[in-house]
Amino acid sequence: MMGKEKTKFNLSEFYSKFGIILILLFMVIIFSLVNSKFISANNIRNVIRQVVVITILACGEQLMLISGMVDLSAGTVMAFGGTLSAYCVSATQNVPLAILVGLAGGLFFGVINGALITIFSIPAFIGTLASMKMASGAIMWYTNGKNKSNLGDAYTWLGQGYIGPIPVPVIIMVIALLITYYVLAWTPVGRNIYAVGGNLQAAKATGIRVRNTQFFACVFSGLCAGLAGIVLMARLNSGQPSTGQAGMEMDAITAVIVGGTSMSGGVGAIQNTIIGSLIIGIIKNFMNLQNIHSSIQDIVLGILICVAVIIDVQVRRSKV
């Protein structure tokens, strides 16, 4: 009996450490055999570019999910902050100011989410859903649904430029990942986020300021959404208020879950989320190469979420 339990534990530990990497490698090998274009240098660059925005969004979702919450507004807040930034640079040609405006737009809704959840005790699912509708309505009203194009070379450099051989968006993504890693691994608030998501009542009993911790996670997610919006609009060379309707927050949440962050809270690592983002990116890229209909793509991603959650539940059970 004990031997059986030990085997279960070892298998769960093995999956936690290496499973996500093996899945990624397996997919790369299979997709390369099916479609030779998949492994080309140009396509690999496209995949990396495509996962930048999702990964930046996922940094914020990572903190939300570990703390036992979820941010459904991230995609729309991304469009809100990014479009405000684009309109600002179009009017002023001041890139630093436009960046601050985009981040401020994300911060604004991060604060709203934090207030709804911590002050008014609204469940995160409902609070961020309300913010999603508010952000969508606000940016569509402000822009009248119109795009703002030709944002200037200095601004589009943030989404299209290079420093040496490295794309600027990738550098921005890496900076966001490093900040997220630092917050979670090396700061008191990061430890509190794990504690709150792992056992809310125990966290309260040990004196952790739960509301402050949850508020921080919401603000961080809002800032990540604003940053993702700036990078996206700079890449598109256009402020597009409708981009938030594409459900990009769901791709980010999927990446975090696939990367092993538990929907129950208290468990997760940003390095695995990077792999989760790559898995989402290469699946979507491969399906595009195969000319698979977008509706089928949604079905596949939905199945992927279910599989990831089922694995999470089974791994947790095996450790009990």
- CATH value at residue 259: 1.10.3470
251, part of any domain: yes
Q: Taking a C-beta distance cutoff of 8 angstroms, is the pair 228, 56 a contact?
A: yes
Question: What residues make up the domain containing 302?
Answer: 39-315
- Torsion sign (Cα): 110, 111, 115, 118: positive
Q: Choose the weakest-confidence range: 101-115, 162-176, 268-282, 293-307.
A: 293-307
* Average model confidence (pLDDT) across the chain: 89
- What's the distance, Cα to Cα, between the start and end of the chain in Å? 14
pLDDT tier at 136 (50, 70, 90 boundaries)?
A: very high
Within-domain flag for 222: yes
Stated pTM of the model: 0.91
DSSP state of 36: G
What is the domain count for the chain?
Answer: 1
What is the tens place of the pLDDT at every residue in 173-214? Answer: 999 999 999 999 999 999 999 999 999 999 999 999 999 999
> CB–CB of 52/78 below 8 Å?
no
Q: Give 5-50 pLDDT, tens digit per residue.
A: 444 445 556 666 667 888 889 889 999 999 888 888 888 888 888 8
**Kind plus residue range of the DSSP H or E element containing 245:** none
Is 6 within the bounds of a domain?
no
Q: Is residue 20 part of a domain?
A: no
Q: Is residue 224 part of a domain?
A: yes
| Alpha-carbon gap, residue 257 to 252, rounded angstroms | 9
| 126 inside domain | yes
Q: Which residue has the tokens 């709150």?
A: 196
Q: Is residue 150 part of a domain?
A: yes
Segment 51-79, tens digit of pLDDT? 999 999 999 999 999 999 999 999 999 99
CB 268 within 8 A of CB 258: no
Q: In this structure, is residue 289 part of a structural domain?
A: yes
pLDDT digits (tens, 9 = 90+) for 149-181: 989 999 999 999 999 989 999 999 999 999 999
